[in-house]
Structure 1
Amino acid sequence: MASRNVSGASWSTGLCDCCDDVGGCFLTWCFPCITFGRIAEIVDEGEIPCCASGALYLLLCMTTGVGMGLYSCFYRYKLRTAYGLAEKPCADCCVHFFCGACALCQEYRELKSRGFQMRLGWQANAERMGKGTTVAPQVDPGMTR
């Protein structure tokens, strides 16, 4: 993902700054599984597609609130670790258990502020940012005559 910074940097927006991104806020309140799926796909660098993460989130929402909170707090932790963000205003799990929609909105805004176009998914963002291209390593031919 991005640089690993252990200083505990501040989030680009606060937990309750939903008005900064009305579209993302509306999406989260109406379809939190889509917001979560998009976040998870980018945090996982495309390993798990948006639809799979979103569907599991929806299933956990329908069956148990605790599982959904644990699942989403795990991704908040991964996002924070990847960008060296501070664990505030409180522990990741507390944020997701008590302010789940606000937490998803904040994570969505954070990725957008870092240049991700959330609707595109990981692959298109990686290509757009130049992360999707890999160059074969140069191999030293060794001794020659």
Structure 2
Amino acid sequence: MENQWTTGLCSCMEDGKTVCLTCFCPCVTFGRIADIADEGSTGCGRCGMFYGLICFVVALPCLFSCTYRTKIRNKFGLRESPASDCLTHCFCECCALCQEYRELQIRGLDPALGWNGNMQRAVSPPMGQHMMG
């Protein structure tokens, strides 16, 4: 069974910080999303730079970024909505990146920490809860 996205495509203003980051530096937002989607195998910097290069050379980063929307959807069993991943990124690139970033956050992953940072956080006890010995 496919699940719904937890926020809408046009719910960008729910997180002003991500909107600003995405509008002014989409390569950073995308790099963070890609690092989580690839479970740390490609790295935030590498994907972000490749995204920036595609923007500069062909001005169509959606050709690359839509593949990561598919990865996130598959990871969480999400519906391809409101349109195909490619069309969503083609016509609403910033909104799609913001929605993906929010989805990761809502599901307990902090894209700013990257995959490795999230994995370390998952195995480390929260601050102040150290065992007394």
Q: TM-score, normalised by structure 1?
A: 0.83
Of residues 107, 114, 121, the one that matches 1:121 is 114
* 1:65 match: secondary structure: coil
Q: C-alpha deviations, 1:59-104, integer Å up to 9, x for none?
A: 00001133x2121000000000010000000000000000000000
2:27 maps to 1:27: no
- Residue identity matched to 1:93: C
* 2:21 match: secondary structure: helix
Of residues 78, 84, 89, the one that matches 1:85 is 78
Of residues 95, 99, 121, the one that matches 1:102 is 95
Of residues 31, 41, 52, the one that matches 1:47 is 41
Q: Please name the residue that 1:112 is paired with.
A: 105
2: CA distance, partners of 1:29 / 1:106: 13
2: CA distance, partners of 1:49 / 1:58: 14
* 1:41 match: secondary structure: helix
1: CA distance, partners of 2:123 / 2:67: 27
2: CA distance, partners of 1:112 / 1:104: 12
Offset of 1:127 from its aligned partner? 1.5
Structure 1 residue runs without a partner (length 5+) = 1-6, 132-145
* 1:88 match: secondary structure: coil
- Residue identity matched to 1:99: C
1: CA distance, partners of 2:9 / 2:21: 16
List aligned pairs for 1:53-92, cutoff 5 A: 53-66=47-60, 68-92=61-85
Offset of 1:130 from its aligned partner? 3.0
1: CA distance, partners of 2:80 / 2:70: 8
Percent identity (aligned): 48
